[in-house]
Amino acid sequence: MAKKEMKRVLVTGAVGQIGSELTMALRERHGAENVLATGRKTRPSQALLDSGPFEFIDVTRKESIEAVVDKYAIDTIYHMAAILSAVGEDKPWLCWDVNINGLKNVLDIGVERGLTRVFVPSSIAVFGPGTPLADTPNDTVLRPTTMYGVTKVAGELLADYYVKRFGLDCRGVRYPGIISHETLPGGGTTDYAVAIYYGAVEKGSYECFVSEDTVLPMMYMPDAIKATLDLMDAPFADLAHHNDFNIAAMSFSAGELAASIRAVMPEFTCTYKPDFRQAIADSWPDSIDDTAAREEWGWQPAYDLAAMTEDMLAALRDKQSAGLLK
């Protein structure tokens, strides 16, 4: 049997929606003691705390990241800490500071400490006016109208520059809206696609902040984790792209999402009251072409809307029975 490569992993943003589940998957793979979870302020769940090491850091302060990289002899970073699109519009300069200066700190440490690999997540928020909205190609117009999108375009370019100029091995995907039941998303435009399931289970109803016909690319968390790990496993020599892979799983309107819940819970009702997030959603694609990810590292999603809805509702009902939901 091939010798398993030893890894010492740091996850920034480990208390967030993707980071919390990614940390658990990485602990499973590499051994809990080899995966350091970090967050800035929010208290981690007891499960995260109990499952392995945790430290508070601030990614905008380079020395704060350096301290844990040195203390835990880190060789790989999954840099998940970010301010998302809706909060980014409320606090654009915080969004810039965390998403750009935080990323530059991580990339500089990657070069200075000779890290073997860095994961740099991007988003469908890189797209905007001028981008084809259907089957959006990987390599296309990137003119976002949100600060979050601006930081994600700049982040992709910056990370690609570190690959080319400094030989740092960094990779990243453009996540669509991610739907999950472990940790709530915080401050994104696609958050309605998670909140609708909580509304269904807790109250039998939901008021959606985008219109019924709003279509966005989405993905269930198990596929998002799989995409992240698969890209990080890919041989560097196989990659033509590095930090800007489109990944697709499903696309649906808010109305179709509500209908998929009604197929399981016929009494569920959904109303629509668009707010400022509608304009952000309208600037993003309806569907994504992920040929590059499929060809360069074999990307393949598993979940469609019906399978995701069944799993989400079952998981949230279990949480409710355990007294963890209203």
Binding site for ligand AKB (CB under 6 A): 84-85, 123-125, 148, 175, 177, 188-190
Least distance from C-beta 257 to ligand AKB, angstroms?
A: 15
Q: Enter the tokens of residue 38.
A: 């970090």
Least distance from C-beta 123 to ligand AKB, angstroms?
A: 3
Q: Answer whether 147's CB lies under 8 Å from 82's CB.
A: no
* Total count of residues recorded for the chain: 326
Residue reference for tokens 């696309």: 251
Position with the least CB separation from ligand AKB? 188
User: What's the CA angle centered on 119, arms 1 and 106, to 5 degrees?
Assistant: 125
Q: Answer whether 100's CB lies under 8 Å from 155's CB.
A: yes
Give counts: helices (H), strands (E), the chain. 13, 14
Tell me the Ramachandran region of residue 307: left when phi exceeds 0, alpha when psi lies from -120 to 50, beta otherwise.
alpha
Q: Which is nearer to ligand AKB, 23 or 189 (CB)?
A: 189
Q: Which is nearer to ligand AKB, 168 or 173 (CB)?
A: 173
Least distance from C-beta 241 to ligand AKB, angstroms?
A: 18
Q: Which is nearer to ligand AKB, 110 or 188 (CB)?
A: 188
Least distance from C-beta 88 to ligand AKB, angstroms?
A: 7
Residue in 265, 262, 260 with CA at minimum distance from that of residue 308 = 260
Q: Which is nearer to ligand AKB, 148 or 297 (CB)?
A: 148
Cα–Cα distance between 94 and 312 in angstroms, integer?
A: 32
Q: Which is nearer to ligand AKB, 134 or 263 (CB)?
A: 134
> Would you please indicate which residues are annotated as catalytic (active-site) residues?
148
Distances 144 to 85, 171, 281 between C-alpha atoms, Å: 11, 21, 11
Least distance from C-beta 204 to ligand AKB, angstroms?
A: 25
